[in-house]
Amino acid sequence: MKNTKKGVTELIAYVLLISLAIALSILVYNWLRFYVLPHEPKACPDGVSLIIQEYSCVSGNINITVRNKGLFKIDGYLIKINNKVDHAGKPEGLPVYLLASVSLPSPLNPSEMHSGDYPYKDLYGRVVEIEIEPFRKQENKIVYCDKSAARQIVRSVDCS
């Protein structure tokens, strides 16, 4: 009698090898598709515009009033300040201190205003520039509108 089991075991080995290769390729594909497939980064629409309407400094607080001059609703904004000046007395660099992150209870519609008092710390020194950077909530994520940031040079504001 001849041994016919040798051909069957080789066939099972090839089937298992091919099955393993297919399973590994599916695993690698699913793992890599998140790294390779492009996804659109969230961005603010071009019509977002927030301006500083007025500002004042009263007893250690900066009062800032902003107006939505854009075409879209704003869900909040960041307030940054700069206290560095160059040799000519102009603001040097970008505003570096984050004074406040304001999340509005209801969106600020176009042409509406929002005002607030924000505590000012003595370690900042004299304020020479204020920057307002709006943000929106899109698909339950906050999207910062850095291209729509409004900067205003302020004159002689000392809140200490």
Range with lowest mean pLDDT among 42-46, 64-68, 71-75, 136-140: 42-46
Domain, as residue range, for 78 = 50-157
The residue-averaged pLDDT of 67-81 equals 90
Mean of pLDDT over the chain? 81
Question: Strands (DSSP E) along 1-139, which ranges?
Answer: 50-58, 61-68, 74-82, 97-108, 113-119, 127-138
Torsion sign (Cα): 154, 62, 158, 134 = negative
Instruction: Say if residue 58 is in the same domain as residue 93.
Output: yes
Instruction: Say if residue 116 is in the same domain as residue 153.
Output: yes
Backbone angles phi, psi at 88, to 5 degrees: -90, 0
How is residue 123 annotated by DSSP? G
Contact 159, 62 (CB under 8 A): yes
Instruction: Say if residue 35 is in the same domain as residue 60.
Output: no
Instruction: Say if residue 88 is in the same domain as residue 149.
Output: yes
Instruction: Report if residue 132 sits inside a domain.
Output: yes
Find the angle CA(63)-CA(64)-CA(69) to the nearest 5 degrees.
160
pTM above 0.95, yes or no: no
Instruction: Report if residue 44 sits inside a domain.
Output: no
pLDDT at 131: 85
Instruction: Say if residue 32 is in the same domain as residue 55.
Output: no
Instruction: Say if residue 30 is in the same domain as residue 3.
Output: yes
Backbone φ/ψ region at 83: left (φ over 0), alpha (ψ -120 to 50), beta = alpha
Instruction: Say if residue 81 is in the same domain as residue 15.
Output: no
Instruction: Say if residue 25 is in the same domain as residue 56.
Output: no
The partner residues of 108 in beta bridges, in order of sequence, read 74
Instruction: Say if residue 34 is in the same domain as residue 56.
Output: no
Instruction: Say if residue 136 is in the same domain as residue 65.
Output: yes
> Which amino acid is residue 63, in one-letter code?
N
Q: How many domains does the chain have?
A: 2
Instruction: Say if residue 112 is in the same domain as residue 145.
Output: yes
Per-residue b or e along 62-93, where b marks 16 or more CB atoms closer than 10 Å to that residue's CB = bebebbbebebbbbbbbbbbbbeeeeeeebee
pLDDT confidence bin for 67, thresholds 50/70/90: very high
Instruction: Say if residue 101 is in the same domain as residue 121.
Output: yes
- How far is the C-alpha of 34 from the C-alpha of 66, rounded, in Å? 40
Instruction: Report if residue 45 sits inside a domain.
Output: no
